[in-house]
Amino acid sequence: MTKNKAGKKVAKQAARKKTKSPASRRKVGTRAKRLPHDSVYRKTILPNGLTVVSESHGQFQSLSMGIWVKVGTRHERAREAGISHFLEHMLFKGTEKRTALDIAREVDQVGGEFNAFTSREYTCFHLLLLKRDMALGMDLLNDILLHSTFDAQEFEREKKVILQEISMVEESPEEMVHDLYFELVYGKHGLGCPILGTERSVKRSKRGDLTRYFHKHYRPDQLVVAVAGDVSHQAVCKELKELSKKQWHGRTLESHEPAALAFEPAPQLKDGCWWIKRSTEQVHLIWGVEAQKYNSKDRYAASLLNVYLGGGMSSELFQEIREKNALAYTVYSSLSPFVDSGVFTIYAATAMHQVPLCIKLIEECVEKLKRDLLSDEDLRSVKENLKGTILLSSDSVESRMSSIALNEIFMDDYTTAEELCEEIDQVSAAEIRAVARRIFSTGKRSILALGPQPTKAVKEKLKPNFPKKYQ
């Protein structure tokens, strides 16, 4: 999910290009693109289907590398809820030649960082090291992907760790309300599954289920290796060693459709108003609508709309809800695009009796965007905001590594930061208004409130908007 609270990730939505057909992605070979400041982008598809992308920057001492797997919670069946995330944990728990402690020590001893995360459509394992330690990083990635043992005792221990992680999220209302929102609007579809799984699904998971899922989805044709920093693309490909083999240990290349395409199409978002009771001081509110997918032609206009509406202290929502009306301390908008769908949400935390007014102001801000063109000054401001975010992030090797990987996964293309800024400059106020009218005029919106039992007065104020949907 792309939150605007800090404005750090908005640029990712703007970094998407038009998706090409799956067949066009399988062309084996290497291509290069010269970038500004003596940087070079290269891409190689190895004979076994593994994709390698790199961006060489001579000015960096650090090196960021990651393996991105095209599998996330939307690929899980109901009984597998949380298995992608569980698998992410287990790949750090020991290989045939390294214990979990060995993995941690080897990275710590060189001052590096090794971490991972799971999303709804992909999983990433990423390292930050000095450029001199590239061989170590590549060896670790090779090792955990091909020689993890999935030790039975470690498996049972990690169950307890994940259950603690679930409990931690449940004690964070802001995180919890987002998970619940996706569950409600997507229902039993994979996009609605909680990334961590549920207490029940984690407790009943079996080691055999995990290894089968691993062998099914962790295949060369479903992986992207991405590296950014002062690095040679040829050296990266050479260090991949076993990952470049035609057949991996314990696995075969299957003839069916790629696993990343083997998911149910996203359903339309359910509209309605839900109030889920929790013992919290505030009501945590999400107002959301269906939005565009990753490769939408409107992605730049949508990103600018997101910045204008909820992208910082000068945003429309922040000014109206916090500064002028003192209804909330935290308020922001989020754009969450997927392969075939997307969600635009607005989050605010407020007192129970202020929920109806908060919703009213949100919808007034939305209606204003549908009705009026942004002024020249506002348009210039949001463009400079988004371009600044993109250019600042381009100074980070971790950000560059993520950018080239995500562009490859979702767009099968590459775009420089300068090219993104040029695209943003071309967006007109009329295009932003057109996007607002398209996503905010469907007549459907989903509202979730997480907090204490609403009073009768609050219920009555909410019912006119949702006479048949209120729960």
The residues annotated as belonging to the active site are 88
Q: Which of 303, 403, 438, 385 is nearest to 10 (CA)?
A: 303
CA–CA distances in Å: residue 432 to residues 126, 161, 305, 378:
35, 44, 6, 12
DSSP structure string for 319-370? IIIIIIT---S-EEEEEEE-SS-EEEEEEEEE-GGGHHHHHHHHHHHHHHHH
CA–CA distances in Å: residue 107 to residues 99, 110, 115, 216, 335:
13, 6, 10, 29, 34
Q: Which of 10, 13, 8 is nearest to 307 (CA)?
A: 10
Tokens describing residue 467: 């006479």
| Amino acid at residue number 207 | R
| C-beta separation of 198 from 24 below 8 A | no
| C-beta separation of 263 from 270 below 8 A | no
| C-beta separation of 200 from 240 below 8 A | no
| Amino acid at residue number 96 | E
Tokens describing residue 129: 């090291």
372: left (phi over 0), alpha (psi -120 to 50) or beta: beta
| C-beta separation of 300 from 18 below 8 A | no
Helix H, strand E, coil C: the string for 398-453 is HHHHHHHHHHHHHHCCCCCHHHHHHHHHCCCHHHHHHHHHHHHCCCCCEEEEEECC
Tokens describing residue 123: 């999983």
Helix H, strand E, coil C: the string for 56-104 is ECCCCCEEEEEEEECCCHHHCCHHHCCHHHHHHHHCCCCECCCCHHHHH
Give the Cα separation of 190 and 409 in Å (integer). 19
Strands 123-130 and 51-56: unpaired
| C-beta separation of 191 from 338 below 8 A | yes
Tokens describing residue 309: 């509406």
Give the Cα separation of 441 and 460 in Å (integer). 25
